[in-house]
Structure 1
Amino acid sequence: MFELRKLPYTKESMGDFLSPITFDFHYGKHHQTYINNLNNMIGNTEFEKSDLFDIVTRSNGGIFNNAAQVYNHDFYWDCIAPTSSELSSELKDTLCNDFGSLESFKEAYLKSATGLFGSGWCWLAYNTSIQKLEIIQTTNANTPITEGKIPILVVDVWEHAYYIDHKNARAVYLEKFYEHINWKFVSEAFEWAKKEGMNSVRFYMNDIHKKA
């Protein structure tokens, strides 16, 4: 059985970025529902005893949707923090090389997240085949790992992620998101992506959802 992960901060810690009420709904209801649905769906199937990585990468339909949303939300919570932190020099240099400058990356990332139609996610992912970072939009529950690309940053642009606090002003939410990026976590995710490839994603999921 999978369980809802613990948040690495309090729900009161995000100031005018995310309110406690948003956490009550987004984390306490939406994320919990994906956990509940996944547990209910995998009973008496080939995935009953599988780890989350295998479910996300091998399933489809409703099982995939809920498993992927568990992972997507897990990762999102780690990508934000009450206060921003410093990028590693390795990540900073790579962003500058791949996007021209840190400011150019920010502009491209927020433009992509703002322009994503409907519900979904905007990622920064490491493409091991070309050894570059890419900005990737996915809709609904989709995630770059099904394409063999390794997430290092994500923002949730489903309306339930921001509507309580920012109404339909997605761009305002995204600017505040950028001020709250946990660059320490993102830098570590990038380091592990380069060292371990897709295994870094499995390690991440298994660390959160330890099997009894």
Structure 2
Amino acid sequence: MPYVAKDFGKLVGMDGFSETLLKNHFTLYQGYVANTNKLSDLLGGMLAEGKTATPEYAELKRRFGWEWNGMRLHEFYFENLGGKGPLDPASRLGKAVAAEFGGVEKWEADFRAAGAMRGIGWVVLYQDKLGGRLFNQWVNEHDVGNPAGAVPLLVMDVFEHAFMVDYGLKRADYIAAFFRNVNWKAAEARLS
């Protein structure tokens, strides 16, 4: 059964994100969904034909992680947008990050600092399912840097396509707009 791109059109009109930027971003996401489906079909066909020992199969198998993670990370990102206001320190997520980082403000400063680092990628607040701990992680490429067994709670896209149309090189302004629009309930719902 193929993956279906989700409709995130409700985000259009969100403060700090132009319609052009969002629609371009949605189109990019839809490409990840389409490519995930194409690769699934190709790999399934090669498996059925006994072509798994070929270099083509190996490269498609490697590429699948890029496309699939690109699809999922964008879904997490769009799903944790559309809210208003700061993280409530009294919420379950607020208490969890305060316990781990020594305060909501310290956690947010760390998350923002990771987002401001040079380079392209993602910043993700993860929860280690086994240890229960929370940590902010830089993910360079979709398929590199995702810690095994960790669950993404809050995802911020810091590839240029996420902000250049509206903010040019002013990544800090984009990060401020991101924080004005976090849907904290969606992020908290991912917390176990």
Deviation for aligned residue 1:44 = 4.0
3-state SS in 1 of match to 2:43: coil
Distance 1:146 1:172 in 2: 28
3-state SS in 2 of match to 1:3: coil
In the alignment, what sits opposite 1:42? 40
Aligned amino acid, residue 66 of structure 1? E
Aligned amino acid, residue 17 of structure 2? L
Q: CA 1:128–1:186 in 2, change beyond 3 Å: closer, same or farther? A: same
Q: Deviations over 1:79-98 (max 9, x none)?
A: 11152375462221111111
3-state SS in 1 of match to 2:109: helix
> How many corresponding residue pairs?
177
Q: Deviations over 1:25-73 (max 9, x none)?
A: 111x21111112122222142499xxxxxxxxxx952111111100000
Q: CA 1:66–1:159 in 2, change beyond 3 Å: closer, same or farther? A: same
TM, length-normalised to structure 1: 0.76
The one of 91, 94, 111 equivalent to 2:93 is 91
Distance 2:86 2:181 in 1: 8
Q: CA 1:60–1:99 in 2, change beyond 3 Å: closer, same or farther? A: farther
In the alignment, what sits opposite 2:160? 159
Cα contact 2:126–2:151 (8 A) shared by 1: yes
Q: Percent identity?
A: 21
Cα contact 2:11–2:81 (8 A) shared by 1: no
Deviation for aligned residue 1:118 = 2.0
TM, length-normalised to structure 2: 0.84
Cα contact 2:21–2:165 (8 A) shared by 1: yes
Aligned amino acid, residue 155 of structure 2? V
Aligned amino acid, residue 112 of structure 1? A
Distance 1:44 1:108 in 2: 41
Asked which structure has the greater CA Rg, the reply is: 2
Structure 1: 5+ residue runs without aligned partners?
49-58, 195-212
Distance 2:131 2:36 in 1: 34
Distance 2:154 2:128 in 1: 13
Q: Deviations over 1:96-123 (max 9, x none)?
A: 11111111111111001111x3221000
Distance 1:128 1:3 in 2: 27
Q: CA 1:44–1:164 in 2, change beyond 3 Å: closer, same or farther? A: closer
Comparing 89-98 and 135-144, the one that deviates more = 135-144
Cα contact 1:8–1:78 (8 A) shared by 2: no
The one of 111, 114, 117 equivalent to 2:116 is 114
CA RMSD, aligned part only?
A: 2.2
Aligned amino acid, residue 38 of structure 1? T
Distance 2:131 2:31 in 1: 37
